[in-house]
Amino acid sequence: MTDTAEQTGLNEIPPIVLVVEDDRDTRDMYEALLSAGGFWVLKVGDAVEAFEYAKDFHPDAVLTDLGLPGDSSGAELIRDLRADPAFEFTPIIAITGRQPRDLPSLRGLSISAVLLKPVSPGTLLDRLNASLRHSHVLRARSAALLQRIPVMLQRAPTLAGRSANDESDPTRGDT
């Protein structure tokens, strides 16, 4: 049983993984592997449809081939997802059959992993689970920070007023 399956209770929805792969057999193979690993799988064949699915379903992770057909590649999909704040912490794993020297520029993109085909099932599940754990930590830190903002905002006028009063207080005696 995977980390994800052990963490997911009977009443919880399993993590959603969006699989973006143009080869139907490979998509089906990823679906079978990930479903057996305790994930709920959405699968699509191109980047445009993948972006729409991502906006509709807000997956917990995205697994995308870099060489996708059509007007938008896997790298473009990653850029589009990262441009949307809703996907800031969403793990993205890129998979490709190309050699690293032949890959499109991924510079500046936040990707959890780039895996070369054929990917072993164990490696894929390990990288996906590790990415989800890391993403969970980032989301928790972000949520904790967001909870502290109202307190910080309440204190800000007091602190700003105190420093302004300290400088203009005629009773201070250091004039």
Look up the domain containing 102 and give its range.
3-139
Indicate which CATH number applies to the domain containing 70. Answer: 3.40.50.2300
Give the integer Cα–Cα distance in Å for 35 and 105.
31
In the chain, the number of structural domains is 1
Round the average pLDDT of the chain to a whole number and report it: 81
Res 1: pLDDT: 42
Cβ-based neighbours of 159, under 8 Å, separated by 6 or more: none
Contact, 21 vs 45, CB < 8 A? yes
Block residue for tokens 């060489």: 67
In a domain, 59, yes or no: yes
Give the Å distances, CA to CA, from 59 to 17, 43, 45, 146. 6, 11, 16, 22
CA atoms of 22 and 130, how far apart (whole Å): 25
In this prediction the pTM is 0.73
Predicted confidence (pLDDT) per residue in 109-164, tens digit: 789 999 999 999 999 999 999 998 887 666 666 666 677 777 777 777 655 555 55
Asked if residue 57 is part of any domain, the answer here is yes
Does residue 113 lie in a domain region?
A: yes
Pair type for strands 40-44 and 61-65: unpaired
